Structure 1
Amino acid sequence: MPLRLPKALLMLIGFALALTACSRIDLAYRNLDRLVPWSLGDYLDMNREQKQLLDERLKAHLAWHCKTQLPGYLDWLDRVQVMVANDAVTDENLRQRTVEARQAIGRVTEAITPSAAELLKGMNDSQVAEMREAFRKDIDKRQKEYVDTPLAKQVENRAARMRKRLEPWLGELDAEQRLRVMSWSQALGDQNRQWIANRAHWQQQLVLAMDQRASPSFEPRLAQLLQRKESLWTPEYRQAFQNTERQARSLLVDLLKQSSPAQRQFLQQRLSKVRADFSELKCLKG
């Protein structure tokens, strides 16, 4: 299997965010420093020094994240629970929760940028060439999966993915809610094309930066790519992204309005479970 060094970068950036998708957050968090290097072995032929650097940085960032960032996540979850309990899931409140979540992501990205820079600066020419090839294959695969299918099929698949994401939080959707999910997917139209084109654009900018990884300009450029990536968005994707966020907020507002008492109780229980898993982490207790 060809190496995919970008996986190391993506895992380093996304380690904290991926936790929210785990059904056993406590278990995933405690073992993340071991799970991440192991999974990288499937994609990346790192040398001993690179593996050691990644392992050391992951442990340090995980400790920092748990002690300094998780308390804020608990507060954020409290605000979400109050919002749901008070039937206050509105566009404005969702917009505020999104801003808060984006700020949390920004703090993590800023914290790991120096480690990402050190890891990437240590790549040799062969690894950079394989990065370029991995990016090409990534775009080809996504193009075939998300764009080279009829638009009607794209809409259908997108709705199915959204239902799969929603049901662990709301339980089984009723007929009216399923129709609302379908209308949401239709409203996004051909956004897959803009998303993949923008992804390819970002990857190209990273490869160009890697060609200058020995120069003083590399770290500032990498910081822009990781921390201010929206400044590099294509105009088409910027417009599509704004529509995507607007449609997502509208979908959630409508689904909660359509939800049954049992679904709202299910959601509150799920949120409580997530919060409990986080709050029981030993690192939060010193």
Structure 2
Amino acid sequence: MSGRTDPFRYLLLAVAIGLLAACSRLDLAYRNLDLVIPWWISNYLTLDDSQQAWMTPRLEKHLAWHCSTQLPEYVAWLEQLDQLSQRPQLTVTDLQGQFAQVRESVNNIAVQVTPTVLGLAKGLSPKQMGELYVAMDERNAELREEHVAPSLKDQVTARSLRMRERVEEWMGPLRASQQARIDTWARRQGDYNRIWAENRESWQKELRNALYGRHASNFPARLTALLQEPDDFWTPDYRKAHPAAETSLAQLLADLFNSADERQRNALREYIGGMISDLKGLECYPR
């Protein structure tokens, strides 16, 4: 499932995680995060001049922190992936370990930006609150129209196509048997799109409730929990479905790697190597 992250969850820097998975010009995109992030925020609410002036130095601080502390962690993660790619076979456990590291990276970002999110949230006007809620509702409607409204058959087809595109970006063209394996994975996810959308909207409902009381003494604790412990707010259906979905994804990726020919494995190693080079070549990367 794809879609922009909610505006207050991983507000400033979650973009950087996505760059690792999806950007062919990672170096160019990362250098422009100071422009991308304000544009992204503006999709949800309009900051006034004083709020922008307050935000700018904090954004610069967050980006400097991210480049000096997190990018080396990303490089280490990619180097681990490169080492894994040298193995003849991968297991589900191997991939689940990589997923855990990504979750840790996202949590590090959430912890880092929480004070800034709290400060921004406390200063929102009623008009900005309304603007935020309208933008969230519109985005939810778009996601439901794209991912939930279509028939289950069409959802499966789209899910399979998205996965093929992502895998081929890393490994190059897939063989028919590998495409069939992705199709099987996509079918087995069943009604996951609806469960995901309902969980997203449930989290947003908790966010709205917290923002209504943003001047209360317990607001910092409530918003901090939403940002840093989002799984505490999962719906029962999502709590049940998510572990199985993650295991299924790990099994899919292991199967695709284990069935890869030498051309595909070389393409994978080249792609990983290119990402490592891009990150290490950034001007802000610690030397």
Determine if the TM-score, normalized by the shorter chain, exceeds 0.5: yes
Q: TM-score, normalised by structure 2?
A: 0.93
Give the equivalent residue in structure 2 for 1:144: 145
Give the equivalent residue in structure 1 for 2:255: 254
1:14 equivalenced with 2:14 (yes/no): yes
Task: Summarize the alignment of residues 84-233 of structure 1 with structure 2, pairs less than 5 Å apart.
Answer: 84-233=85-234
Counterpart CA distance in 2 for 1:216 and 1:98 is 36
Unaligned runs of 5+ in 1: none
Higher relative contact order (CA 8 A, sep 6+): 2
Unaligned runs of 5+ in 2: none
Counterpart CA distance in 1 for 2:190 and 2:198 is 15
Counterpart CA distance in 2 for 1:283 and 1:131 is 33
- Contact 1:91-1:250 within 8 A present in 2 as well: yes
SS in 2 for 1:23: coil
Give the equivalent residue in structure 2 for 1:242: 243
Give the equivalent residue in structure 1 for 2:273: 272
- Contact 1:188-1:243 within 8 A present in 2 as well: no
CA shift for structure 1 position 34: 2.4
- Contact 1:8-1:40 within 8 A present in 2 as well: no
The number of residue pairs the alignment matches comes to 282
SS in 1 for 2:150: coil
Q: TM-score, normalised by structure 1?
A: 0.93
Counterpart CA distance in 2 for 1:10 and 1:107 is 9
Task: Summarize the alignment of residues 59-98 of structure 1 with structure 2, pairs less than 5 Å apart.
Answer: 59-98=60-99
Letter matched to residue 166 of structure 2:
R
CA shift for structure 1 position 88: 4.3
Query: Which moves more between the two structures, 124-133 or 205-214?
Result: 124-133
SS in 1 for 2:264: helix
Counterpart CA distance in 2 for 1:271 and 1:224 is 34
Larger helix proportion of the pair? 1
- Contact 2:26-2:279 within 8 A present in 1 as well: yes
Paired-residue identity, %: 35
SS in 1 for 2:32: helix
Q: What value does the CA root-mean-square deviation take over the aligned residues?
A: 1.8
Counterpart CA distance in 1 for 2:69 and 2:227 is 21
Letter matched to residue 28 of structure 1:
A
Letter matched to residue 227 of structure 2:
L
- Contact 1:170-1:264 within 8 A present in 2 as well: yes
SS in 2 for 1:12: coil
CA shift for structure 1 position 38: 3.8
Please list the CA deviations of residues 31-73 of structure 1 after superposition, one character each: whole Å capped at 9, or x if unmatched.
Answer: 2112322454455321012222232222110101111121121
